[in-house]
Copies of this chain bind each other. A is one copy, B any other.
Amino acid sequence: MKVQLIPTIEQRIQIKEPPIRARPRLRTPGFSRMIRFSKPPEMETLMSVKNAFYAQSGGVTSVINASACGVIQAVRANKGKIGKLYAGRNGIIGALREELIDTGKESAATIAALRHTPSGAFGSCRHKLKSIEENRAEYERLIEVFKAHNIGYFFYNGGGDSADTCLKVSQLSANLGYPVQAIHIPKTIDNDLPLTDNCPGFGSVAKYIAVSTREAALDVASMCETSTKVFILEAMGRHAGWIAAAGGLAAEREGDAPHIILFPEIAFDREKFLKRVQRCVKRYGYCVIVDSEGAQYADGRFLADSGVRDAFGHAQLGGVAPTLAEMVKSEFGYKYHWAVADYLQRSARHIASATDVEQAYAVGKAAVDLALAGKNAVMVSIERGKGKRYSWRVGDAPLDKVANVEKMMPRHFISRDGFSITEPARDYLAPLIVGEDYPPYQKGLPRYARLKNELVPRKLKKRFKV
């Protein structure tokens, strides 16, 4: 599939239905639109190298740019095998709109700085491709843009929903006759992707929550005699309690905070919760709670559902902490404080886990290696070594087994009473937050990369509304 020829820009702009010469090498029946023109031999060589497309998808993390850095540096290291690397402006939308950022315009220093820059440097989006049956136009548009820019590699950096999109793109060849190798690069603070030991992005948010829990708990402990007795930290995590669970790492000894963790996996029981709060305050003088934004009642109602839905149809959550605080206040009259870390937790590159940064970089780099090895429809995975000492390596997993599967906390990671983590959970979580990877500072503030994000000139006349 590596040798493919495309018309010149001028030709392409003119041609809506270009003359076709089917390539016998390709097995998929739909592959009937590949085009071949007569061209000088040096152009053949030039055009035989496919370009690549990289996009960031869904909620960003403090290390997704480290994956971008891995992809870009690997592509640059493979000159002659992969052509240009385009990044979608605002994710897959950039492909649909033909807004392609030329990563080649960025200096090596800027690209290196991506490794320590949080959030999505090229822009991300919440846009889930529907099935081909439901929205054929989007897929045809993608192919049009990919063709126009000679794109043969699709690197998609996202979570569960993005794995689904990536899988659909990987099937373009089979379904619409356009050959593209789609590699999914895992990214999600939620840590809910299957077939990978953990997800890049999670280790850093886990570290943030564990560090913040430990620090805020010291604050409450020092104030509780005459002031705040209950402190609630709300962590992200819509359906899986991984992030809230990481708060549990703050505790080292009996009595250490957090005293209560609320997981989405465990149905919230008001009476049991309040009883536990009271017991903690009586025993330790204070009570620190880490709650997951996804904490819910037995009937599936979220403790704080704002009613807003995002593009994926998910409820926009937030505000469980004040709800719980009110509950505690009205029952016992305890003075409370609460914090909702929200975006702070997933953008806190200043306290990123070094392990997480390394893994994020590694999965980006590995995606390029997998592509060059001819893989398609796979997700780069992280495999944990069997030894007692933590070790890991990258692997790959079939995308169709990844898409639309959410990995919850296993029940044995949560204590019987449902309020804390177990030793196996601790063993799993602890290595993921190890190591600090501080960004450089200037005048007291982290120096994060600023990209030019220059767009490649459009090749298509048609605009596409997303």
Binding site for B on A (CB under 8 A): 56, 59-60, 62, 90-91, 93, 117-127, 207, 210-212, 214-216, 218-223, 225-228, 231, 233, 249-250, 308, 310-311, 316, 318-319, 322, 329, 335, 337-344, 346-351, 353, 355, 430, 433-436, 438, 441, 443-446, 448
Contact = CB atoms under 8 A, between A and B. Distances in A.
18 contacts: A60-B222, A117-B218, A120-B222, A122-B222, A125-B223, A126-B223, A127-B226, A211-B350, A215-B349, A216-B343, A216-B344, A228-B343, A231-B343, A318-B337, A339-B341, A339-B344, A430-B444, A435-B444
Interface of A: prevailing SS:
mixed
Contacts of A342: 216, 337-339
A333 B327 CA distance: 30
A223 B342 CA distance: 14
B347 A216 contact: yes
Nearest to A311: B226
Question: Which 9 pairs of residues, A with B, have the shortest CB-CB distance?
Answer: A120-B222, A433-B444, A119-B218, A339-B342, A215-B347, A90-B225, A219-B347, A125-B226, A434-B444
Identify which of A126, A347, A441, A448 gathers the most chain B CB atoms within 10 Å of its CB: A347
Nearest to A250: B445
Given A222-B56, A223-B59, A341 B338 contact: no
B341 A337 contact: no
Given A90-B226, A93-B226, A225-B123, A351 B353 contact: no
Contact of A335 (B123, B231, B310): B310
A343 B347 contact: no
Nearest to A353: B444
A269 B271 CA distance: 42
A126 B226 contact: yes
Contacts of A210: 444-445
A39 to B, nearest CB: 37
Contact of A443 (B218, B311, B434): B434
Contacts of A91: 226
B93 A346 contact: no
A215 B350 contact: yes
A377 to B, nearest CB: 25
Nearest to A319: B322
A348 B215 contact: yes
Contacts of A446: 211, 214-215
A227 B220 CA distance: 35
A318 B338 contact: yes
A443 B441 CA distance: 24
A340 B446 CA distance: 21
A355 B444 CA distance: 10
Contacts of A346: 219
Identify which of A207, A339, A430 gathers the most chain B CB atoms within 10 Å of its CB: A339
A59 B316 CA distance: 33
Contact of A438 (B225, B322, B349, B438): B438
B118 A343 contact: no
A355 to B, nearest CB: 8
B339 A214 contact: no
A107 to B, nearest CB: 19
A341 B338 CA distance: 8
Contacts of A351: 350-351
Given A60-B223, A340-B339, A441 B436 contact: yes
B335 A308 contact: yes
B227 A126 contact: yes
Contacts of A445: 207, 210-211, 214, 249-250, 433
A124 B222 contact: yes
A302 to B, nearest CB: 16
Contacts of A433: 443-445
A90 B225 CA distance: 7
